[in-house]
Amino acid sequence: MAQLQLSDLRKSFGPVEVIKGLDLDIADGEFVVFVGPSGCGKSTTLRMIAGLEDATSGTIRLDSHDVTRTRPADRGIAMVFQSYALFPHMTVADNIGFGLQLRKQDRAMISKRVAEVAETLQLTPLLARYPRELSGGQRQRVAIGRAIIRNPRVFLFDEPLSNLDAALRVQMRLEIARLHQRLGATMVYVTHDQVEAMTLADRIVVFNEGRIEQVGSPMELYEHPANRFVAGFIGAPSMNFLPVRVTGVQIESPA
């Protein structure tokens, strides 16, 4: 569990600046959802927090420690990938226990922890299987299991449910919400799904072209969008816009 702070975070790929200065404070245990149009830099921001991408400038602080140049492994952050990224040559148990194996932990300890994690994610009967022998939802649960076993301080999810069918998505969404309640960990979650964003988020961060347009609770964004972009982006079906002319304190529609 940790609080996460981004200050004037920037990222350029070659000459193109794709993240143009982000400032964001995420409280301990908060569930923050990133939304925004495709290509606006949500994944890039998440990858910078994870340490998979170097920030061009700015700082990332975890519990007020500067981790901008810290190796991913030493940040205590776990990430669940959109594509699951399970190791195909390892069983479910080995996939979940991989991080502990790398830390050369005692075998008995590892199997005990793996069993615990499998229990909470209802994976116990599948521990000996290989990823190719699992359904999409089961794979996603293994990916989550691999993330939670190390008790990370922050969880990052990049569109974790977008490969699942609608019914399974609803179920996994519930499981993630439950997981958040139980672990009380800080979570940052990227999604394109309005419903996911509205139901899971403590706060939603609306991105546009590498900048943050607005940060707020789902209802705040819905009822008091800071600008037209946010207003148009939040809500499904989306808001109606009417061109108006300001006449004193009253407004009148030409139509």
Partner 1 sequence: MADTLPATRFNPWPATIFTILCVLAVLFLLPTVGVLLSSIKTTREISMGELWSLPASLYLGNFAEVLGNPAVHQYFLNTLLVTLPATAVSITLGALAGYVFAKLPFRGSNVLFLGIVAGMFFPPQVILVPLFRLFNGIGLIDTLWPVIIVHSALGLPICVLMMRNFFATVPNALREAAIMEGASEWQVLTRVVLPLSLPALAVLATLQFTWIWNDFLWPLIFTQSDDKRTIMIGIVNLKGQYSVAWGVQGALSLVASLPTLLVFLFFQRFFIKGMTMGAVKG
Ligand X SMILES: Nc1ncnc2c1ncn2[C@@H]1O[C@H](COP(=O)(O)OP(=O)(O)OP(=O)(O)O)[C@@H](O)[C@H]1O
Least distance CB 70 / partner 1 (angstroms): 12
For residue 58, state whether it binds partner 1 (rule: CB under 8 A): no
Q: Say if strands 186-190 and 31-35 run parallel, antiparallel, or are unpaired.
A: parallel
Residues whose CB is less than 8 angstroms from the CB of residue 9 and which lie 6 or more positions away in sequence, other chains included: 19, 21, 22, 23, 45, 48, 55, 57, 58, 59, 60
Least distance CB 37 / ligand X (angstroms): 7
Contact positions vs Mg ion (CB under 5 A): 43
Tell me if residue 230 falls in helix, strand or coil: helix
Give the length of the chain: 255
For residue 89, state whether it binds partner 1 (rule: CB under 8 A): yes
41 makes contact, choosing from Mg ion, ligand X, partner 1, none, with CB < 5 to 8 Å by partner type, with ligand X
69 versus 224: smaller Cβ distance to partner 1: 69
CA distance linking residue 233 with residue 213, whole number of Å: 11
Interface stretch with partner 1, choices 61-69, 94-102, 185-193, 203-211 (CB under 8 A): 94-102
* Structure-token pair, residue 75: 């940040």
Interface stretch with partner 1, choices 24-32, 60-68, 126-134, 237-245 (CB under 8 A): 126-134
CA distance linking residue 153 with residue 191, whole number of Å: 21
Query: CB of 190 within 8 A of CB of 43?
Result: yes
CA distance linking residue 143 with residue 112, whole number of Å: 18
Closest CA to 33 of 239, 177, 179, 237: 177
Could you say which residues in the range 155-214 bind partner 1, by CB under 8 A?
Answer: 163-164
22 versus 126: smaller Cβ distance to Mg ion: 22
For residue 83, state whether it binds partner 1 (rule: CB under 8 A): yes
**Binding string, 15-54, against ligand X, x = CB under 6 A?**
---x-----------------x-xxxxxxx----------
Per rule CB under 8 A, count of chain residues that contact partner 1: 31
Alpha helices per DSSP H over the chain: 42-50, 92-102, 107-120, 136-148, 166-183, 194-200, 218-223, 228-233
Least distance CB 99 / Mg ion (angstroms): 24
For residue 86, state whether it binds partner 1 (rule: CB under 8 A): yes
Per rule CB under 6 A, count of chain residues that contact ligand X: 10
For residue 103, state whether it binds partner 1 (rule: CB under 8 A): yes
Binding site for partner 1 (CB under 8 A): 50, 52, 72-73, 77-79, 81, 83-89, 98-99, 102-103, 130-136, 139, 146, 150, 163-164
